[in-house]
Amino acid sequence: MNKTWSLWAITAMLLLGAFARLIAFGDAPAGLQHDEFYDALEGINIIERGNFQLYYPANQGREGGYIWLNALSALFLGRNTLMVRYASFALDMLMLALLYRVGVAMFNKRVALIAVGFAAVSFWTISIARIGLRPVLLPPVVLAIWWGLMILFRPSPKPRWIVAILTGGFIGFALYTYTSSFALYPAIILFLGAMLIFKRNVLFKRWRELLIMGVLAFILMLPMIAIRLSPEGTTRLSAVTRPLDDFRKGLPNELITNGIRLAGMPAFLGDPEWRYNVAERPLFLVPIGMLVYVGMLVVLFTIRKNPFSALLLALLLLGLTPSLVTTSAPSWIRVVLALPSIMLCLAVGIESVGKLFRGKYHTAIVWGIGMGCIIITAVADWRAYFVQWANHPEVMSIYRDDLEQLSTFLATNTTDLALVAVPNADLDALTYYMGRIPPQNTRQQLVFFQSDSALVMSQQPNLLFISPLVTISPIHQIWLDDAERLSPIIDQAGRLAFDVYRLNTNVITEKLAEFALDTAFVADSYTSEQNLIAYPVNFDGLIELVGVEFPRLPVKSADDGLELWLYLRPLVSYSDKRANLFVHVVDESGTVVRQRDMLGVPPSQWNTNTIIIQDHFIWFDDLPAGTYRVMLGLYDWDTLARYPLAEYPHDFVMLGEILVVVRDD
């Protein structure tokens, strides 16, 4: 293959890969998922707050490498969906280019081009490239190490210091990419062992460069090793290593099942979850996937001649171990270390099958089989990704197409205040704003809340949006009886994204007028004399309790509890305070016998134009009969320090007394 032709060929493959990764960029997947947002936000915080870390403990802990690249994206692209996913696109394109270089160095240009062709069009690589998550950083780093080692051991009398330093740097940096990187290091050790057995003269000739490489890598790895050995660094692993934990207890069933599933991954079994794959879909169609096994056997028998074959197989097999010892095998994300090796084995398998056809048409047959398999994979995987996967309801709920459609709706809507009931107020709000279309109404404000315990109302005109992923409790449902139901928002697949209501502001205004005539109490202690005070009760200028609906009848302890409706008005908007409410039920001695801490709308979503109606229920179970006081306060959930009342020298307010009686059997 001449140089010009191969240059055009790899350029075409890279353009094909870029097309597959950029087409329908904002629609497949339809929106952002929370994990993407975490990595993007940390990158933004590096630029805006200088929050540079080696390891970010939030969201069960994440290595810093990909987040640092997100910081560069934020610097040049700002806060948007493109910023969240640009680093993934660029890294995956770099992976394709490096895969070609390694393939050429290990085999030949034909094998390298076929491997890149599969990597350009397969579901696996397209999926990884189109979401903004850190696993995409590991394959190009591994390929850079692989290529560096191949250059280092090329026949040459000259020392290769620069190559050794760069390769050592990448080996050390790999630990900062993704959790699965731990499998890289035993793979390198196995490769060096193969070199010692079959090419010891070459190995010994480079001992100085290897020493420099190893020392530099170890120095760079040391901080992350220390983090990983700390309790903070084991959070993510401990959450998913049930198969390994069970194996240590003498229960190997799940580990064995994982091994079987991973062995069938190329052609028979797939990732069981919809998050990154059509559930249970293998990497390739069966006839094509079988060629991966053929390639593995061929590579195995070349180790004596070429010890880099040991590195290829070690990266493949050890790259599967992160999914072997964790749940939901085979996980496409956790086995990402094996990706380059699998693509090369597939290309080698095709090359080997082509060698069965001897004669002058041998080369054409190999190309025909390779290009035919790539085209078949492209057609099958294109439909699987862009049609079947991208439009699946579970995928849309994960990647929050509903928030994308809400943004489109509000971009042209004139409402000043939008109240949005979602599963996770904080995360959904941040995800929404990351991909938000700027509204024409610049005064427009949004409040996200969790409707399982709270409903947000307002005395000013507003719209209420309720996600089908949540439910409004029957107690709060009565507030919607007087609301006007509008046309719902529909997602890209024609399913419900949000129910839309225009709330009746008069209803909440009338309720607040009733509370103006009611009273609460303050006291020096839980048991001392109570003094009447009027509503509202101001907590340190942050939020005020404007009223309480409190039971006046006795409560039976065995099958009932305390049902409170708390009406709260934020006094600050979108606060970064770490505030939470507590409700204590105390007996005559001042002992807290029942309590519940909860604030249905986080301070990050407070708005001074709203009223939070919180359903605060406390089970009494076997609480003895008697009279109990009910008290309420606000505290910082980080320090547990209570916020004082603004107008009284106390840090709690008494709501009243409740009589508890024993059920008559």
Q: pLDDT tens digits, residue range 161-171? A: 999 999 999 99
pLDDT of residue 4: 83
Contact criterion met (CB below 8 Å) for 178 and 138: yes
Specify the amino acid at residue 4: T
pLDDT band at 355 (very low <50, low <70, confident <90, very high): confident
pLDDT of residue 90: 96
Instruction: List, for residues 382-396, the tens digit of each pLDDT value.
Output: 999 999 999 888 898
Q: Work out the angle between the directed axes of helices 339-354 and 286-300 (0-180°, nearest 10).
A: 90
d(CA 247, CA 391): 38
What does the mean pLDDT of the chain come to?
90
- Burial letters for 303-331: b for 16+ Cβ neighbours within 10 Å, e otherwise? beebbbbbbbbbbbbbbbbbbbbbbbbbb
Query: How is the beta sheet containing 463-466 ordered, strand by strand?
Result: 445-449, 417-421, 463-466, 496-502, 484-490
Contact criterion met (CB below 8 Å) for 185 and 321: no
**Higher-confidence residue: 431 or 211?**
211
Taking the CA atoms of 538, 541, 546 and 547 in sequence, report the sign of the dihedral they define.
negative
pLDDT of residue 221: 96
Instruction: List, for residues 501-560, the tens digit of each pLDDT value.
Output: 998 888 888 888 888 778 888 877 777 777 888 889 999 999 999 999 877 667 776 667
Mean pLDDT of 287-305: 96
Measured at the CA of 154, the angle between CA 153 and CA 158, to 5 degrees, comes to 90
Asked if the model's pLDDT at residue 239 lies above 60, the reply is no
Q: How many CB atoms lie within 10 A of CB 595?
A: 12
**Higher-confidence residue: 648 or 380?**
380
CATH 3.40.50.620 is right for the domain spanning 516-661: no
What is the DSSP code string of 20-86?
A: HHHTTTTTSS-S--HHHHHHHHHHHHHHHH----SEE-STT-EESHHHHHHHHHHHHH-SSHHHHHH
Burial class (CB in 10 A: 0-12, 13-18, 19+), 460: exposed
pLDDT band at 318 (very low <50, low <70, confident <90, very high): very high
pLDDT of residue 238: 58
Asked if the model's pLDDT at residue 417 lies above 90, the reply is yes
pLDDT of residue 197: 95
pTM of the model: 0.84
pLDDT of residue 86: 93
Instruction: List, for residues 332-342, the tens digit of each pLDDT value.
Output: 999 999 999 99
Asked if the model's pLDDT at residue 12 lies above 60, the reply is yes
Instruction: List, for residues 554-611, the tens digit of each pLDDT value.
Output: 777 666 788 888 999 999 999 988 899 999 999 988 899 999 999 989 999 999 999 9
Instruction: List, for residues 102-160, the tens digit of each pLDDT value.
Output: 999 999 999 999 999 999 999 999 999 999 999 999 999 999 999 999 999 988 778 89
Contact criterion met (CB below 8 Å) for 337 and 319: yes
Residue 642: DSSP 8-state? B
The contacts of residue 536 (CB under 8 Å, 6+ apart) are 515, 544, 545, 546, 547, 569
Residue 579: DSSP 8-state? E
Contact criterion met (CB below 8 Å) for 593 and 575: no
Asked if the model's pLDDT at residue 453 lies above 90, the reply is no
Distance from the first to the final alpha carbon of the chain? 92
Measured at the CA of 140, the angle between CA 136 and CA 141, to 5 degrees, comes to 105
d(CA 655, CA 653): 6
Asked if the model's pLDDT at residue 495 lies above 90, the reply is no
pLDDT of residue 245: 81
Taking the CA atoms of 159, 163, 165 and 171 in sequence, report the sign of the dihedral they define.
negative
pLDDT of residue 142: 98
Mean pLDDT of 319-346: 94
Pairing of strands 445-449, 417-421: parallel
pLDDT of residue 235: 62
pLDDT of residue 233: 67
Asked if the model's pLDDT at residue 188 lies above 90, the reply is yes
Asked if the model's pLDDT at residue 459 lies above 80, the reply is yes
pLDDT of residue 540: 93
pLDDT of residue 662: 77
Nearest residue to 526 (alpha-carbon basis) of 624, 631, 648? 631
Q: How many CB atoms lie within 10 A of CB 65?
A: 21
For the chain, the 3-state helix, strand and coil shares in percent, each to the nearest 5, are: 50, 15, 35
